[in-house]
Amino acid sequence: MAQRGWVTTALMILLVLIAGAGAYFYWSLNDELSQMTSAYEETLAGARQGQQALADLQAEQERLRQQLLRAQERLEQRTTSADQLETELNDTRRNLTGARQQIIDLERRIETLKKDLAVAETLASDRGEQLAHSQEQVAELTARRQDLEASLATAREEQTRARAQADELEDTLETARAELDQTRGQVEQRKAALDEVAAERQSVAEQYRQAREQLALQQVRSQNASETIAELEARLQREQSAMNDLQARLQALSNEKQTLVSRLEDGTTVIKLPEKIVFDSGSARIGESGRQTLQLLANALESFPDHTISVQGHSDSRPISRRLQFRYPTNWELSASRAASAVRVLRDTGIAAERMQAVGYADTRPLVEETNDASRRMNRRIEVLLYPDELQVKVDSALNPESADGT
């Protein structure tokens, strides 16, 4: 029992010790927990203060950064201002140097002026002596001025008289011009009268020629009874009619004012064919319009059945262009080739080849002096000459007995 009680007591003591130790540990843990809670709250407050301080530091950093930027801008402005000030300072230094040089120059000029002043004072004393002499010269010049004014008045009077004479000469010139115009009118009238006289003379010459032809016809009638006057008159009338018709047709084709069909004193008929109604420019080729022109000529040649036909080519004096020189080296080849081309076309119309001949004259027989394109165009032509037959030769011999005798 005693042992059981001791054990119980020991257990109770152990329990009390355990309970005391547990209470101690509890209170120790509770105290540590309280301390830890306080420390946590202090730490949390410190963290909040740290966050606030951090925010304040960030705001301060931003403010300092802005201040730094403004300071940099001011520094740049001050740097620029410093450069400008330095430039202005250099300019000022240069200006100051120039001003100093100007001062030195002014001092030199002052010294020079002082010397000049001394010389001027010396000269002034001399000029004082010259002044009296100058006054005498002024008096002389005044007298000369009066003389010149008198001479000027006289010259003005002479100028007035000269103007009056010029007006009279102008009136005389106008009268002379009127008389000259009247004289020119009279000259024009006389020229017109001379032209009329020349026309009448030509008409009289034509009448004389016709009278001589009639006389020749009478002489032929007596010399050769086989040739009748009726046949000769009919032939002449037929030839004249063909010539007139061909002249009208050619002028209609060419619009030329010159006579294209004419008859020479020896009875030869000359037919001019301008280049533009027969050939292409610078070529011997005959186009369709040229063939039509030569057909008109062939129709007219039917009235000249016994005449010899000479087709003659003429050119202007300009050299052949380079692109055509391989075919026509000179105007001789071109004019001869044109004449030959015209002969071939006439032969194709039925005219006997033995009646025709082709001749090239180049620019050796111009109609007019070449001064422009129009005059050169007149010289570029084909001429067809119809030489008279034996009957016409007889008429010509009767009309020109001197030629028949060989004198």
Count of structural domains, the chain: 2
At residue 275, the pLDDT reads: 87
Q: 393 pLDDT exceeds 70?
A: no
At residue 382, the pLDDT reads: 92
Q: List Cα–Cα distances, 269 to 234, 301, 366, in angstroms.
A: 17, 11, 18
pLDDT band, residue 404 (cuts 50/70/90): very low
Q: 389 pLDDT exceeds 50?
A: yes
Quote the pTM value: 0.42
Same-domain pairing of 330 and 392: yes
Domain that holds residue 186: 143-223
Q: 310 pLDDT exceeds 90?
A: yes
Domain edge (last residue) among 188, 223, 258: 223
At residue 120, the pLDDT reads: 65
Which of 108-122, 282-296, 347-361 bottoms out in mean pLDDT, i.e. has the lowest?
A: 108-122
Q: 378 pLDDT exceeds 80?
A: yes
pLDDT tens-place string over residues 1-33: 666 677 777 777 877 788 777 777 777 777 777
Same-domain pairing of 280 and 330: yes
Q: How many CA atoms lie within 13 A of 78 on its CB side?
A: 6
The CATH number of the domain where 353 resides is what? 3.30.1330.60
Same-domain pairing of 209 and 254: no
End-to-end CA distance of the chain: 218
Query: Which residues, 6+ apart, have CB-to-CB distance to 245 below 8 Å?
Result: 300
At residue 33, the pLDDT reads: 75
Same-domain pairing of 354 and 238: yes
Residue, of 184 and 59, whose pLDDT is higher: 59
Question: Which whole number is the average pLDDT over 155-172?
Answer: 72
Closest CA to 364 of 331, 322, 334: 331
Domain edge (last residue) among 223, 257, 274: 223
Same-domain pairing of 377 and 241: yes
Same-domain pairing of 179 and 254: no
Question: Which whole number is the average pLDDT over 186-196?
Answer: 71
- DSSP secondary structure of 230-286: HHHHHHHHHHHHHHHHHHHHHHHHH---S--EEE-TTS-EEEEEEGGGTB-TT---B
pLDDT tens-place string over residues 241-271: 777 777 777 777 766 666 788 888 888 889 9
Residue, of 265 and 231, whose pLDDT is higher: 265
Question: Which whole number is the average pLDDT over 78-89?
Answer: 73
Q: In the predicted model, what is the mean pLDDT of the chain?
A: 77
Question: Which whole number is the average pLDDT over 75-84?
Answer: 72
